[in-house]
Amino acid sequence: MVGGRHNYWMATVQNAATVEVLAAQPGSVETDLLIRPVFEGEPLPADDSLVVATAGEVSRASTSGEFKGKLYDLFFTPIIDPRWKARRIVLAGLGRRSDYSVDRVRRVATAAGLAARQRRHARVGMIWTDPHDLEHTSQAIVEGLILADFDAAQYKTDEDRPPRLRGLHIVLAPDAIYDARKTASAAAERGRITGESCNAARALANEPGNTLTPRVFAERAAALGSDARLAVEVLDEHQIAELGMGLLLGVSRGSAEPPRLIVLRHSPPGVPATPVLGLVGKGITFDSGGISIKPADGMERMKDDMAGGAAVICAMCAISLLNAPIRVVGVVPTTENMPGGRAIKPGDILRGASGKTVEVVNTDAEGRLILGDGLWYAQRLGATHLVDVATLTGACVVALGKITSGLFGRPSEWVDVVRRAAEHAGDRIWPMPLFEEYRDQLRSDIADFTNTGGRPAGAITAALFLKEFAGSIPWAHLDIAGTAWAEEPQPYLPRGASGVAVRTLIELAWTSNTWPR
């Protein structure tokens, strides 16, 4: 059985649930609700214990067509048998068996967990008797249930809110051998930490701009990192100036809030000096667009422009808590982008810490500016492989919509590594081109390049801008502008911050044997 985490971590993820893996008859599990996944078109066997315990109600629902097992279908019914410790069961549709994936199990677990909370069930168990790929499935089940426990309404004063999940179980077959239980328990612990890390990132991205200023963001990152046993350093505006980070300082000029540079290090003893994974996240705590101000409609959403930075911070915490056998450094430049009297203006020239100069033609293309200094600093700290994460461009939303994040980078071997990590983790990403001809759109007559190439291929030219600061080492860029915030609720994802990219970065830390050198 697994308990809670440290104090500040707990306050952020809002989750004190225990997780337990049992090899037992379902009737002996002391819980409020049992989840029984069912494939479409495959009714429960007549001798299944749940059929008897519900007086045939689950069979009737299947036979009548009330429950068909379609993806995310849910059918709740009481358990009649007084010998059972659980009082209700929910059949959860997995869709067609031919379409099965571990990610579907994760999403179905989340959908069932969300429905359980709405019905005020605090203790939930999910039955899983298939021994195939038990490690990944157990992790996915726990991740899904933990994700269902996220509460975005921390500022609501109405006390009539769904209860939090307090006890989670994976119920294996009664005859599951010791090694299977041990494997599933270890995977469940990893799933719990991963799920909590996603929820921590969602909590940060959900904070309004007046409570999560750059200084507060840095303070919370430091507290989270300290709880997770990371080495943490926060650089103030004077230290940032000493490093020559003119791009970060330039963006921050219009705000009364000073910038910060958050640095997190995971350096476990005994691991080789290289490779070193460098994670860089965009930390714009509110983006007004600056002098090139955004339209008022939807501007309130710009509080989540630090979702990439939150993903890096919370992934770093999980990487440390899981003791990944690799050195990792996280860098998050954070500031507001505001139209104050000292704000940068279109036509201004900024010089980054790398020495490269940028003509600012649009102050609303600010994320790439601060990432330029962040990418430079990650290399200075020893990174041999880079990934940056940012809510960077509306153009990526036009290209890929709200479901898929854009993936850019070089060499192709490194891009493939990141893509496979995302696929395994359940984040949907898609590779995009970086043909050199697009760079012509960034040409400047008075500086090394401009900070935007205009509307055509906007996501690509933004990535090419970042490429200028990535040096010669393997580098990948995740544009999460369309996926960091769910505007339309899904069965497995309520409206709000999604925690995208956290699982991908965690998974990536365990794949160093496949990295290009």
Determine which of 15-19, 85-89, 405-409 has the lowest per-residue pLDDT on average. 15-19
How confident is residue 3, by pLDDT bands cut at 50, 70 and 90?
very low
Q: How do residues 272-298 score in pLDDT, each as one tens digit?
A: 999 999 999 999 999 999 999 999 999
Confidence of residue 13 (pLDDT cuts 50, 70, 90): low
**Section 389-406 average pLDDT:** 97
**Per-residue pLDDT band at 162 (split at 50, 70, 90):** confident
Out of 68, 294, 380, 410, which one is annotated catalytic? 294
Q: Give residue 226's pLDDT.
A: 95
Closest to 269 in 3D by CA, of 314, 222, 312, 229:
229
Give the architecture (CATH level 2) of 207-514: 3-Layer(aba) Sandwich (3.40)
What average pLDDT score do residues 363-370 get? 98
Q: What is the DSSP string of 123-142?
A: EEEEE----TTHHHHHHHHH
Please write the tens of the pLDDT for every residue from 204-252: 999 999 999 999 999 999 999 999 999 999 999 999 999 999 999 999 9
Domain with CATH 3.40.220.10 in the chain: 7-201
- Going by C-alpha positions, the residue among 372, 336, 329, 332 that lies closest to residue 353 is 372
Q: Tell me the mean pLDDT in the region 166-190.
A: 94
Q: Tell me, which fold does domain 7-201 have in CATH?
A: Leucine Aminopeptidase, subunit E; domain 1 (3.40.220)
- C-alpha 307: how far from chain center: 9
- Residue 153: pLDDT band by 50, 70, 90 thresholds? confident
pLDDT, tens only, 417-469: 999 999 999 999 999 999 999 999 999 999 999 999 999 999 999 999 999 99
Q: Is the pLDDT of residue 317 over 50?
A: yes
**Using one digit for the tens of pLDDT, what is the confidence trace for 107-128?**
999 999 999 999 999 999 999 9
Given pLDDT bands bounded at 50, 70 and 90, which one contains residue 5? very low
pLDDT digits (tens, 9 = 90+) for 19-63: 999 999 999 999 999 999 999 999 887 778 999 999 999 999 988
**Cα–Cα nearest to 433, from 391, 401, 467, 403:** 467
Please list the residue range(s) of the chain that carry CATH number 3.40.630.10: 207-514
User: Residue 199: pLDDT above 50?
Assistant: yes
Confidence grade of residue 178 (pLDDT, cut at 50, 70, 90) = confident
Is residue 203 over pLDDT 90? Answer: yes
Instruction: Evaluate if residue 513 carries a pLDDT over 50.
Output: yes
Provide mean pLDDT across the span 365-375: 98
- Mean pLDDT, to the nearest integer, of 328-347? 97
Residue 515, pLDDT score: 97
Task: Report pTM.
Answer: 0.96
Question: Comparing 160 with 349, which gets the higher pLDDT?
Answer: 349
Distances (CA, A) of 274 to 271, 321, 494: 8, 20, 40
Percentage of residues in the chain with pLDDT exceeding 90?
90
Nearest to 430 by CA among 409, 458, 444, 455: 409
**What is the distance between the alpha carbons of residues 151 and 88, in angstroms, rounded to a whole number?**
24
Give the C-alpha separation, 179 to 106, whole Å: 23
Mean pLDDT, the chain, whole residue set: 94
Residues 503-515 have a mean pLDDT of 97
pLDDT, position 12: 63
Task: Give yes or no for residue 10 having a pLDDT over 60.
Answer: no
| Range list of β-strands (E), 131-180 | 167-172
Give the position of tokens 């880079």: 386
Write out the DSSP string of 195-254: HHHHHHHHHHHHS-TTTS-HHHHHHHHHHHHHHTT-EEEEE-HHHHHHTT-HHHHHHHTT
Give the contacts of 316 (CB within 8 A, at least 6 positions apart). 225, 228, 230, 264, 266, 279, 328, 330, 505
282 is catalytic: no
State residue 345's pLDDT score. 97
368 an active-site residue? yes
Q: What is the pLDDT of residue 4?
A: 41
**Calpha distance 469→489 (Å, rounded):** 37
Q: Which of 368, 419, 467, 503 is catalytic?
A: 368
Q: At what angle do helices 458-467 and 367-380 cross, to 10 degrees?
A: 30
